[in-house]
Amino acid sequence: MVDPRMLRHGMDLWLPLPGAGITIRDIAADWRNCTVELRQLPWNRNYVGVPTRSSP
């Protein structure tokens, strides 16, 4: 079975996530909780200035 820490690092390298400003901060050892952060970048915010992750 994959370790939560290894999965987090692997997901951080998966190009769609960092490209969208998404970072996985923590995955609990018992797999029950995951902390994810969406950073506001020029290419992932709408005209109001709110970060969004929608498909074109």
Residue 19 falls inside a structural domain: yes
- Decide if pLDDT at 51 tops 80: no
Residue 13 falls inside a structural domain: yes
Domain that holds residue 33: 4-38
| Average pLDDT value over all residues in the chain | 85
Q: Looking at the 3D structure of the chain, how many domains does it have?
A: 1
pTM for the predicted model, two decimal places:
0.70
Q: Are 12 and 6 in contact (CB under 8 A)?
A: no
What percent of the chain is predicted at pLDDT more than 70? 93
Residue 34 falls inside a structural domain: yes
Confidence (pLDDT) at 27: 93
Residue 51 falls inside a structural domain: no
Mean pLDDT of 24-44: 90
Residue 21 falls inside a structural domain: yes
